[in-house]
Structure 1
Amino acid sequence: MIFKVYYQEQKTEVAVREKTRTLFIEANSEREVRKKLVGRPYNIEYIQLVDGKYLEYEKLNEDFEVLEKE
């Protein structure tokens, strides 16, 4: 499954829409996504499952890149 993670680059940053970044990661659950990102200094705002037409739409973005399973 592919998840979209909305985050700030530093844990101390306040969540502000203009500074929110996203990444896509392959995992079996939201818990697994959090485990994979535990070593990064991210302030995770939201994790969303991306599938179906929404996934197809995201793939159209030239910046679409999925972090592979470790």
Structure 2
Amino acid sequence: MVFKVLFQKSRDEVPVRENTETLYLEATDIRDVRKKLGDRPYNVEFIQPLTGKFLEYEKKSAEFKLEKI
């Protein structure tokens, strides 16, 4: 399953919407996503599973690139 992860690059700073970044990751569930990102200093704001039409829509985005972790 593909997940869309919204995050800030630093856990030490207050989250600011303008600094939110996105990555796409393949994992079995949300717990697996958190485990894969555990060694990175990210402040994860939201994890959204993408399926069906939501996934197709995101694939059309120029920013869509599946991370290999």
Query: Same fold by TM (over 0.5)?
Result: yes
The residue that corresponds to 1:15 in the other structure is: 15
Distance 1:15 1:54 in 2: 25
Q: What's the offset of the Cα at 1:3?
A: 0.4
Structure 1 spans left out of the alignment, 5+ residues: none
Give identity over the alignment, percent. Answer: 52
Structure 2 spans left out of the alignment, 5+ residues: none
RMSD, matched Cα = 0.9
Structure 2 residue identity aligned to 1:64: F
Distance 2:48 2:63 in 1: 18
Q: Aligned residue pairs: how many?
A: 69
The residue that corresponds to 2:32 in the other structure is: 32
The residue that corresponds to 1:66 in the other structure is: 66
